[in-house]
Amino acid sequence: MTHSFSELVVGDVLLAPFVAYAVAALVVFLIHRPILRLLDFAKLFSHPSIAELSVYVTILGVLTVFF
Amino acid sequence: MSVTTALAPRHFAGLPFSSWAFGIRVWIAVVVALYAGFWLELESPLSAAITVGILAVPTRGQALEKAGFRFLGTVIGVVASIVLIGSLSQARDLFLLVFAAWVGLCVYVACLSDGFRAYGAVLSGYTMALVAIQMIDTPGRVFDFGMQRGAAIALGIAAIAVVNDLLVAPDRHLGLATQLAALHRQVRDHAKTVIRGEATDAAATANLLRETTALRSEITSLAAESSSGPTRRAAARSTAVALVAELHAARVLKALPADMDLAIRARMSTALEEGGDERSLPDNATAALTWAFRELLRCDQDVREGLAALRSGVPPARMWRTPFYVSHRLAAEAGVRAALWLALASTFFVLAGWSAAEASLVQLTAFIGLGVITPNPRAFTVGALIAAPIAAILAGVLDFVILDGATEFPLLALALAPFMIGAAVLTTLPNQVFAGIGRLNLIFILVIAGLSNPQTYNPQMFLEASLFVCLAPALLLAAQLLIPPISDERRRQQLMASARREFDQLSSGPAQRYAPEEAMFRDAARIGKLTGAGVPGPQNLVILEDALTLFDQAALIRMCDASLRRLMGGPVATLADQARRALGRRDVQSIRQAASDIRQAAPEDERTRATSDALEVASLIMEEKRP
């Protein structure tokens, strides 16, 4: 069962709920970036860019499911 | 013994694989952006594809940084457009006047920045053209149009970011470390030439300073690259600053009198190469020579540590900023000129009375903005004038020969491949003319082809779009012939005047804003601008010599001042204060006397001795040549 998604309204313009989740996930990801740096996250992977994209997608998925 | 083998980059059709990979990434991102734009039924899916074309830079960090400034610039431009439309949509003349003033203001701000920050500023300017001018007859839709444009840009950014991530676009820090290491080799060679007592060239020195400081904007973009980006950025900054300081130390060494035999010179060169210390100097070497050589070795060590930190992603030992020299006067002059060019062009369009002329005005505003952030705005306009007809022909071939009425998306994606890959590959060529044409074609082809869902294949619309895209640079060139951009001569005069003014004001106020090495980098950036302004000639060489003399002496005065400030609370505070006053007056005899007094007051203290030696060096350098 999925929960309902409320639409974001900016000046009478309806935005898809996904936009709000995508922006929120980006904010959460950027806040956590210094922590990733302290943990030397980039050195754990051969392709850090894909690893960081995966972290973003994970955060986005978690936000979409639970909020 | 270890043997390292450097693999030469593999080539295909005379170009490295990395260039082809970049072209393919751009093509895929354009197709993804277009597909998503069609699927989401955006009003202008083409803007998403154009965003990809604009953000087509070979490395991830640069693309992300440019994307950030593109988004921010768009938001500011849209807000300004709403304000302008809301307040002046009924007063057309005033509307155009305020629009020209806004573009001038954005150009002024752009000239006070560098890299993608400057791009973001000019984008704010021409976003007003895109939004307010296009919506001038339907002001009620301006907010909706702005939102649509924002959505298309966000989509384009997401497309290029995801494609770059998944297709593992290269990181900039590897290339940057190689570039900095190459510059380090050149600076060291320069220092060894000085040690051997051979002549050095002022133009070559200025060129080294220009190449080092020109990396500033690329260093800034390292932060966006990955989670270790900010650390690498700090390391790269420290390396660049230390490189400038090393070059300064070599110049100081050159200016000091030295009577040494070849064996000692060879020992000094080896010490520099192998990270030795000043013990390679003979026992009878003067204190000034020892200080200068120690400085050279210290800076070289800083560069090596910085490079190691950049490669390994660990924080550097020293955290230096890379301040950037800006000239408010030159920026204001560029802003006024941009506003006048736009006013002239607007007048022409108003008099011509074309109903669809706003499309050309939009292009023209973009050319003005993008041109002023290049070293030569008129050359940029000429490049656009060459690239526009080429793009029109290519877009015509795409629309009416290859696609020719096709409506299936896979066919569009395949048809775009040679144009997008070809243009993107051109941008990677070392030849700046071809690279510029490639960059402009990447955007123009998409603009003129006018991709939409469904595609109309209307020849009249195509011809109109081609005409206006070609007309914009032609009109701008005419405006730039009437009101020429800032001349190299004027730029040189302003830069030298500001260097002299700052030199005269040195050491007379409170604590300096920057550390001596950081201020050295800022001065080097000004010399870099001076080198970039004009072809080297005998007169320019004299100006460069003057600029380098000011650079040497200003750096030494700042270093002495910083050392003296550290002595202010101690037992030689009075002497330090006297020395500072002598420095402020540029009184060579008093500086030398102060150096001697400070040394005698505390001969055993390492810090005091170093300060005294620095003062001695400053007096010798200031005596040798007066700026």
Q: What counts of helices (H) and strands (E) characterise chain A?
A: 2, 2
Cβ proximity of B112 and B331 under 8 Å? yes
HEC letters along B461-487: HHHHHHHHHHHHHHHHHHHHHHCCCCC
pLDDT of residue B24: 95
Which residue range(s) make up the domain with B194? 172-312
- Beta-carbon contacts of residue A12 (< 8 Å; ≥ 6 apart): none
- Beta-carbon contacts of residue B239 (< 8 Å; ≥ 6 apart): B180, B184, B302, B303, B306, B307, B309, B310, B316
- Phi, psi at A13, each rounded to 5°: -100, 125
- Beta-carbon contacts of residue B5 (< 8 Å; ≥ 6 apart): none
Domain edge (last residue) among B265, B280, B312: B312
pLDDT of residue B4: 43
List pLDDT tens digits, range B261-273: 777 888 888 888 8
Of A11, A47, A53, the CB nearest to B143: A11
| Alpha-carbon distances of A60 from B98, B157, B457, rounded to whole Å | 42, 17, 40
Alpha helices (H) in B167-286, listed in sequence order: 172-195, 202-213, 216-220, 229-255, 262-274
Interchain CB distance below 8 Å, A48 and B227: yes
From chain B, pick out residues whose CB is under 8 angstroms from the CB of A41. Answer: 227-228
Together in a domain, B516 and B552:
yes
Residue B4 included in any domain: no
Of A11, A33, A43, the CB nearest to B313: A43
Interchain CB distance below 8 Å, A42 and B60: no
pLDDT of residue B510: 56
Together in a domain, B307 and B365:
no
pLDDT of residue B92: 78
From chain A, pick out residues whose CB is under 8 angstroms from the CB of B61. Answer: none
Q: Which amino acid is at B125?
A: G
Together in a domain, B476 and B350:
yes
The ipTM, to two decimals, is: 0.77
Interchain CB distance below 8 Å, B227 and A33: yes
Residue B317 included in any domain: no
Together in a domain, B465 and B355:
yes
Q: Cβ atoms within 10 A of the Cβ of B303, count?
A: 25
Together in a domain, B180 and B33:
no
Q: B227, B310, B311, B314: best mutation site toward chain A, by most A Cβ within 10 Å? A: B227
Handedness of CA B134, B140, B142, B144 (dihedral sign): negative
Measured between alpha carbons, how far is B610 from B600 in angstroms, rounded to an integer? Answer: 13
- Per DSSP (E only), the strands in B433-523 are none
Taking each helix axis from N to C end, the angle separating B92-111 and B115-128, rounded to the nearest 10 degrees, works out to 180
Together in a domain, B194 and B240:
yes
Together in a domain, B222 and B241:
yes
Tell me which residues of chain B have a pLDDT lower than 70.
1-9, 278, 280, 282, 507-511, 533-537, 625-627
Residue of chain A with shortest Cα separation from B232: A37
Of B147, B227, B231, the CB nearest to A52: B227
Greatest Cα-to-Cα distance within chain B, rounded to the nearest angstrom: 91
Residues in a beta bridge with A49: none
Cβ proximity of B448 and B462 under 8 Å? yes
Q: Which amino acid is at B250?
A: A
Of A33, A41, A53, the CB nearest to B165: A53
Half-sphere exposure at residue B126, Cβ-oriented, CA atoms within 13 angstroms: 25
Together in a domain, B336 and B256:
no
Interchain CB distance below 8 Å, A13 and B60: no
Taking each helix axis from N to C end, the angle separating B328-352 and B459-482, rounded to the nearest 10 degrees, works out to 130
From chain B, pick out residues whose CB is under 8 angstroms from the CB of A43. Answer: 228, 313
Q: Which amino acid is at B314?
A: V
Handedness of CA B136, B138, B140, B142 (dihedral sign): negative
Together in a domain, B437 and B302:
no
Interchain CB distance below 8 Å, A41 and B147: no
| Alpha-carbon distances of B457 from B30, B118, B336, B398, B452, rounded to whole Å | 20, 37, 41, 10, 10
Interchain CB distance below 8 Å, A52 and B162: no
| Nearest partner of B622 among B559, B557, B558, judged by Cα | B557
pLDDT of residue B5: 47
Domain edge (last residue) among B256, B287, B312: B312
Measured between alpha carbons, how far is B548 from B544 in angstroms, rounded to an integer? Answer: 6
CB pairs under 8 A, 24+ apart, for B347-351? B348/B475, B350/B96
Together in a domain, B188 and B165:
no
pTM: 0.86
Together in a domain, B304 and B344:
no
Q: Residues of B136-150 as b/e, b for ≥16 C-beta within 10 angstroms?
A: beebeebbebbbbbb
Measured between alpha carbons, how far is B41 from B257 in angstroms, rounded to an integer? Answer: 75
Of B143, B147, B165, the CB nearest to A49: B165
Residue B461 included in any domain: yes
How many domains would you assign to chain B? 3
Measured between alpha carbons, how far is B475 from B150 in angstroms, rounded to an integer? Answer: 29
Together in a domain, B451 and B512:
no
Tell me which residues of chain A have a pLDDT lower than 50.
none
Interchain CB distance below 8 Å, B226 and A42: yes
Measured between alpha carbons, how far is B477 from B563 in angstroms, rounded to an integer? Answer: 53
Residues in a beta bridge with A9: A14
